[in-house]
Structures are given as structure tokens and as C-alpha cells.
Amino acid sequence: MRALARLVARADGRGGTALVELHGETPLLLRQTPTDGGVATVHLVGGAAGPLAGDDLRLEIEVGPGAAVRVHSVAASIALPGRAGAVSRMAVRAVVHADATLHWLPEQLVAAAGCAHLAESRIELAAGASLLWRDELICGRYGEAPGGAVVHTQVDYAGRPLLRQSLAVGPHAPGWAGPAVLGGAPATGSLLVVDPSQAAEPPMADGSVARLPLAGGPATLWTATAPDAHTLRAHLSV
Amino acid sequence: MATPSLLLLLADGRFPAGAHAHSGGLEAAVAAGRVTDLTSLEAFLAGRLATAGLVGAAFAAAAHRVAMPETVGSAHPARSARPSDAPVGSPARSGALARLDAELDARTAAPALRAVSRRQGRALLRAGRSIWSDAPFADLPATPGGAHQPLVLGLLCAAAGLSRVETATIAAYGTLTGAASAGVRLLGLDPYQVQALLVGLADACDGTAADAARAADDPPERLPAAAAPLADIHAEIHATWEVRLFAS
């Protein structure tokens, strides 16, 4: 399946945010949900199981100057095997202008046995933009070893590289479950907080979670591993 | 023209760049109870090679490419390739190295790991400057703390006449051997068995270096960015210890 979805938000001039474009295709459907305090809220609704290997899903988000958008999803997405040799792909491309805010807080990605999935996010932030960007990966359904999954995140702030990370799990990622990468934890994820109005707090870490101020902008990355999705979410909530 | 001896010399842990003071994150992984024996050390080394090893080797290869622009497009330049004779202070070269430095920062989320990479870069630069005084080290960005170690390594290997893939091999190999010898000291493992582990990882190391050398042809934003959550977490925990055997 191929699908392209697009969300464009603009400040409405009265302190709120208008969604001037909101367009999806099965299985990538977008629904506006009740808004709070000037923030437009959108839910991603999976219109089919998957993604299945072979699916190519793209989502484009643009948040205009001064606008604020929050994106959730109604359920975890489960990457599943499909045609032999095929890869499923979910590409998100977001542009956030000055004084605009994007909160990307979807449910988990579950890498099921035999999947071959690439989740690829590219985010461009103008100087003065704010962002919350959460990625959570569950390696296999209960008691199951995952197929191949790569979660790639590329973020620029004011034209400068802010974050590049590519987490690979599964049979083609040597040592991914070992003590240098996930240490056997079936759940892992990160929350990127970009907030130009706040000074970054110093680094902090305990056994399986760390707060990491980044070098390329007013940003902090929370990174965590966990025994389950619930614990992971607790680590990655603001 | 590089000789096999120069390759060995630069890959040698005794080269005065301070590598022996670092465990590559192993000390914290041992303290967390995540590495306890040969089997878990092997898994640690494999994961480290595929993440920090690949990224470091790709950036060393990319810096080598900046220093030797005539080898662009070839991961296996002829032995006769010589470092660029662009004058020291080349704006194109310093711009390219500054871009690589920022891209590597963006791949190093943990401040403790950024500091370690820059500290190791400074140590390597001291050695490099006194040996290859005409190499274009002045084009490295004047970042507080010094340039990242892979960038310095790339310039130094180019000055020594090593190829891009040899440069990547030294970088990948260094991420393995530092942690492996730390494993012998931290866990009291049998050094023969640890060497056998390294022999078993040699093919993976060569493969990583070849991948890294190829990747260096890509634009900087597309260079490998393999992440390891526990490496970041371990590094920040380790940085808070008052007493430790290794600097990282």
C-alpha cells in the first residue's frame, strides 16, 4: 500500500491554530480532535493493519509561524512481514516555523517477528521553533524476537544539525540486544524536547534513562530502555 | 606513500594518543552488571562495533576524504595518492571539517561522550602535530574542547599516506581493542580468550571499515548515525563517579 498524508497548520490570528490542509489516504488517515488552548490536535488513525512489508507511507507536516499542533495516534502500529524481500517504510517530514510548536506523541511502534521496517523522520526547525518528538519502539510482540526495524531521526535547528540517530534492531543489527545497545530490554525510545525559552538542564542518568542536553540548539534528548511499554512511557513523559 | 608499518603504528594502542585510558563504555557496563563474562563481552564488542565503531570510522573516513580530495569517489585510492597540497588554511577544507564536527555532535547525544571524543582528539592532535607538522590540522574547527577524535584521526592518517579504508579500519579497530583490553583488567578475563574474541570479530571489523569508507562519499547529513541508548546512559552515569579506573 502507498499513502501520502499531509497536515498544514497556520496561526489564525486570534491566538489559535487553523488546519488549512488535513488530508490522508488509507491506511494513513488524519482526524482533527477537540482542541485545547490554541493547539490544534490531530489523531493518526490506522485504516488497515500494519504497516506490512511493501507499504510505503508518507506524512508531511508543516506548522506555520506562531501555530501549534499536537499529533497523537489512536493505537500502536505493528510492523508486520509482507512480500518476501520487501521493506515497509513510514516517512515523516516536518517543518516547524519560528514561534511555532509541534508535539509528535504517537503510540508505540511494535516490530513484529519477521518484519522489515524503516521509520524515517526528518524535522526542520526554524530558530525559535518548539518541538516534542517521541519515538517508542517495542522489539517484538510478547515473548517474540523482532524482525528488522530501523528508527532514523534527523533534526535540524536553525539550519544546523541538532540530532541524527538511527537505532537498528533485529537479525541484521549485530549486538543490538547486547550490553552496548539495549541490554536485553524489549522497549526503548527517546523524547526530544526543543524549547528556546528554557535553558537546558544538566545531564542526568540512572540505570536505564538519561537526560542529555544536545550541542546543536536549545534541546534535550531523553533516552531510555525499559522492560515494557508502560515503564518506557513513564520515562518519556513530560 | 604509506607502508604497512605506518598502518600498524597508527593502529597500535601504544601510539601516544591516550587510548589506553578509555574503556569505551565497558567500565560502566561492567558496574551495571551488564557485562560479566566472555559471552557478554563479545556481545558488547559486537554492538559497539556496529554503532560507535561504524560512526567513528565513517567520520574518520570522511575527514580523510576532505584532506585528500583527489581520491573522491574511490574507497580504495591508489597508494600513491598524496594529501591535498591546498595551502594550510583552506576555507573549503575548514568549512567541510566544521560541518563534519557539527554532524558528529548531532550523533553524540551524551555530553560525556562528546567531551571524551574531543579530549581524545586533543591528545591525538598533540601527537599528530609533532610528527606530521605540515598536515592541515589548522583547518580543524576551533571548537571549545578541541576537535572530535575521528576528524583528527582522518587528517593524521591522510598525512601518513594511508588510504581511506585503512583509516576507517584503524578507527573501527580502535573501538574494539580499547574495550577488549579494558575487559581483561576489569573482569580478570583470560587474555588469550579475549584475543580469540577479537580474532572472531576481525571480519566484522573489516566489514564495518569497508561500509564506513563507502559511506564517506555521502553528504555529511547522510553519514551513519547508529545509536546505542545504553552507551549514552552508561556514559553519563560513569561521568558522575568520583573513583574510576578509566576516563570513559
Residue B231 lies in a domain: yes
Asked, for residue B211, whether it belongs to a domain, the answer is yes
Q: A96-112, pLDDT tens digit by residue?
A: 999 999 999 999 999 99
* pLDDT of B76: 46
The pLDDT-based confidence of B163 (bands split at 50, 70, 90) is: very high
pLDDT digits over A127-169, tens only? 999 999 999 999 999 989 999 999 999 999 999 999 999 999 9
In Å, how far is A77's CA from the nearest CA of chain B? 22
**Mean pLDDT of the B221-232 span:** 97
For residue B246, tell me if it sits in a domain. no
- Inter-chain Cβ pairs, chain A and chain B, closer than 8 A: 139
Domain ranges of chain A: 2-235
Out of A180, A213, A214, whose CB is closest to B230? A180
DSSP state letter for B220: G
**Domain range enclosing B115:** 4-239
CB atoms within 10 A of CB B90: 18
* Distance from chain centroid for Cα B68: 18
pLDDT at A35: 80
* Nearest-by-Cβ selection for B232 from A166, A183, A223: A223
- pLDDT at residue B2 in the model: 64
Best mutation target among A124, A139, A181 (most B Cβ atoms within 10 Å) is A181
User: Would you say residue A37 has pLDDT above 90?
Assistant: no
pLDDT at B86: 52
DSSP A29: E
- Whether residue B158 has pLDDT greater than 80: yes
Chain B residue closest in CA terms to A224: B229
- Does A214 contact B at CB distance below 8 Å? yes
Residue B130, in any domain of the structure: yes
CB contact under 8 A, A177 and B43: yes
pLDDT at A168: 98
Residue B47 lies in a domain: yes
Identify the band that residue B84 occupies on the pLDDT scale cut at 50, 70 and 90: low
C-alpha cell at A96: 516547524
Residue B71: pLDDT over 90 = no
Are the C-beta atoms of A73 and A103 separated by less than 8 Å?
no
Residues of A in contact with B219 (CB under 8 A): none
Residue A96: closest CA among A21, A43, A151, A156: A156
Best of B26, B105, B114 to substitute, by most chain A Cβ atoms within 10 angstroms, is: B105
Q: Tens of pLDDT along B117-126?
A: 999 999 999 9
What is the C-alpha separation between B82 and B79, in angstroms, rounded?
8
pLDDT at res. A182: 98
Instruction: Please tell me if residue A204 touches chain B, with a CB cutoff of 8 Å.
Output: yes
Tell me, what's the pLDDT at A83? Answer: 87
When divided into structural domains, chain B yields a total of 1
User: Which residues of chain B lie closer than 8 angstroms to A176, CB-CB?
Assistant: 47, 50
Strand partners, A190: A135, A223
DSSP notation for A179-195: TTTTTT-SEEEEEEEE-
How high is the mean pLDDT of chain B?
91
CATH number at residue B28: 1.10.4190.10
